[in-house]
Amino acid sequence: MCLLSFGCIPNAQTKQSHLTPEININSCLESLNDKDLNQALLTCNEIIKKSPNKIEPLAERSLIYTLNGQNNLACLDIKNALKIMKQQDIDPLTKYQIKIRYDSCKKR
């Protein structure tokens, strides 16, 4: 499965950190395995907890929520990313992806 967007999953919480030196703090999807989206969600949740004002992890978690059929949570992350985006200068591609996803959420 080829994923070139962003996305992560909610009810999976743990007291132990899943982040390892091998996992890039900037990417929830780095270790994405289509058979274990919950692990990717855990990673995203930890990254977002450590960097709540970064847009990319929210967008990546949104993708994972979408893959799991949790569209309401996906749209919530996109709305939060959009709020942050208004306060930060981000790259045009990320800005475009957030806008497209937001437009999709408005149609639901």
**Domain locations in the chain?**
1-108
The reply to whether CATH 3.40.1350 applies to domain 1-108 is no
- ∠ CA(3), CA(26), CA(22), 5° rounding? 90
Q: Which two three-digit tokens encode residue 10?
A: 């909610």
Cα dihedral 17, 23, 77, 105 sign: negative
pLDDT for residue 37: 87
Question: Does 84 score more than 90 pLDDT?
Answer: yes
pLDDT for residue 7: 45
pLDDT for residue 25: 55
Question: Does 34 score more than 90 pLDDT?
Answer: no
pTM for the structure as a whole: 0.72
Mean pLDDT, range 26-34, rounded to an integer: 68
pLDDT for residue 98: 94
Question: Does 31 score more than 70 pLDDT?
Answer: no
Mean pLDDT, range 22-45, rounded to an integer: 74
